[in-house]
Amino acid sequence: MKDKLFVVLYVFLMFLVFSNYAVAQPDTTFYKGKKIKQIVNGTTSADGLFFGEQKLYNKKGVLQEIITFRKANKKANKYNGVLKTYYNDTTIASEVPVAQFIKDKKRVIEIRSDKKVFGYHKNTTDISYEFQLKKPLTLRHKIYKKFNRHYHDFVLLHKTKKIKGLITTIYYFDDNKKIAGIDNFVNGVIDGVQKTYYTNRQLKSEGSTKRVRSTNYSVGRWVYYREDGVVMKDVEYYCDTIKANKPMRYGMLINNGKFYFPSAELQFLVAYPRAEDFHHRIDTIKAYYDNEKPWFKLDYDTKAKIKNGDSKKDYKHSAKYVEYYKSGKIKIEGFYVKIPRYKLTKSDLVVDSKLGSVDNRKVASWLYYDEAGNILKKIRYDMLTGKVKKITEGASVKKTPSDDLIDTEF
């Protein structure tokens, strides 16, 4: 009898001991269509912290996330964990270091700032992006409630959606594990330094952007390179650190822009308006042959003239065009009228009724030369119609003081 009682007591004690290590059955919940919504395998402490593994699925029953916390991974008052997201084919999409803790009697999950976040190319474990936050970022409960997920790439890396406190620099990588680009994020949107790269790791472009009213604009200096490192374009965009006249807007080019041949020689030099002196949409352009000699020049500082009583006055919407032979001799010269950047006034339209409709319109006299410097032809243009008014050819063609005069008066 005693032996039987001993056996019963022994079995009972062993049950008590091993029951402390028994694996709890996972708690599974479903969508209305009976697709799996989540599987929770773990325990919740008295204060609300979860320890174990939680799998989240979308409405099609496809795994989206796995978030894991262990009691052993405690640092200060926070418990560290890992959140993994998945593509719809169930391959890993990202790996996010997280931490959970109690704040104001509520459970908080945040992305840690002492570890990197990694994103992966589809169907591989090759890194597609990585970043490390400047400070921890709380995962928003609204996203979890609405989408049954704590984190997703489109939420965090959405280039137009503001997320307060998300400050970081993100590095992108191509399929060959080489750097493909760098973006600076402030409050969840691109704002600051941007860089892109060729597959040979040569810099492709670099500059800065600024977020203004839900639109990203290039600001400051931008440089674009060929795959061998030769500069192709070097330009500058308006930014609000410059005091400018009212017509100046983000996205407008200012100061000197340089454009180069593949051989690295200068091809175009464009003197865009300075922001503080901005008035018209007429920019001085200098173009060059590949032998570095001038090809043509559109000069904002040299104007066609307009009659003002008995005198002549500069017509502010005009610019002089001069084209050259490779020898450096003048080939063509004349004047263009360009539509201004700002809103036209009534007086503008009284003087030039076509000003708001026809851009790069020829006015005054255009002269055409041979390589010896002789005038071959002169064409006179009517300002109000934009049509050819008179053509003069042959030995009788001469350059006169009225060649720069537009046929109209104030």
- Is 270 a domain residue? no
The tens digit of pLDDT for each residue in 94-142 reads 999 999 999 998 899 999 999 999 999 998 889 999 999 999 988 876 6
Q: Are 298 and 321 in contact (CB under 8 A)?
A: yes
166 contact partners, CB below 8 Å, separation of at least 6: 133, 137, 156, 185, 187, 188
- Is 336 a domain residue? yes
Categorize the per-residue pLDDT at 325 as very low, low, confident or very high, splitting at 50, 70 and 90: very high
Dist CA 312 CA 402 (whole Å): 10
- Is 4 a domain residue? no
- Is 19 a domain residue? no
What mean pLDDT is predicted for residues 70-78? 82
Q: Domain range holding 363?
A: 279-410
Let me know whether 147 and 169 are in one domain: no
Let me know whether 314 and 236 are in one domain: no
- Is 84 a domain residue? yes
The tens digit of pLDDT for each residue in 219-236 reads 889 999 999 999 999 999
Residue 3, H or E segment:
helix 2-19
- Is 15 a domain residue? no
pTM for this one? 0.65
Domain boundary among 108, 134, 157: 157
pLDDT higher than 90, residue 33: no
pLDDT higher than 60, residue 7: no
Dist CA 359 CA 372 (whole Å): 32
Dist CA 323 CA 287 (whole Å): 9
Nearest in space to 376 (alpha carbons), one of 329, 342, 327: 329
The tens digit of pLDDT for each residue in 135-147 reads 998 887 666 777 7
Q: Are 208 and 216 in contact (CB under 8 A)?
A: no
Let me know whether 134 and 171 are in one domain: no
Q: What are the CA-CA distances from residue 247 to residues 238, 252, 279, 343 (Å)?
A: 11, 10, 8, 9
Let me know whether 293 and 242 are in one domain: no
- As for how many domains the chain has, the answer is 3
- Is 1 a domain residue? no
Dist CA 351 CA 304 (whole Å): 14
Let me know whether 174 and 68 are in one domain: no
H-state helical runs in 297-405: 346-351
Domain boundary among 115, 139, 157: 157
Let me know whether 198 and 221 are in one domain: yes
- Is 16 a domain residue? no
Positive or negative CA dihedral for 200, 202, 205, 209? positive
Dist CA 396 CA 365 (whole Å): 15
Let me know whether 149 and 129 are in one domain: yes
Distance of CA 196 to the CA centre of its chain: 11
Dist CA 229 CA 182 (whole Å): 18
Q: Which residues pair with 323 in a beta bridge?
A: 296, 332
Sheet holding 305-308, edge to edge: 311-314, 305-308, 405-409
Domain boundary among 107, 138, 157: 157
Let me know whether 153 and 179 are in one domain: no
285 contact partners, CB below 8 Å, separation of at least 6: 268, 269, 270, 271, 296, 297, 298
Dist CA 372 CA 375 (whole Å): 9
Q: Are 385 and 358 in contact (CB under 8 A)?
A: no
Q: Are 88 and 62 in contact (CB under 8 A)?
A: yes
Let me know whether 283 and 410 are in one domain: yes
364 contact partners, CB below 8 Å, separation of at least 6: 304, 305, 334, 335, 380, 381, 383, 403, 404, 405, 406, 407
pLDDT higher than 70, residue 408: no
What mean pLDDT is predicted for residues 80-96? 92
Let me know whether 150 and 169 are in one domain: no
Let me know whether 152 and 66 are in one domain: yes
What mean pLDDT is predicted for residues 209-221? 83
Q: What phi, psi does 346 have (nearest 5°)?
A: -60, -40
Dist CA 390 CA 328 (whole Å): 28
Categorize the per-residue pLDDT at 356 as very low, low, confident or very high, splitting at 50, 70 and 90: low
374 contact partners, CB below 8 Å, separation of at least 6: none
What mean pLDDT is predicted for residues 377-402? 87
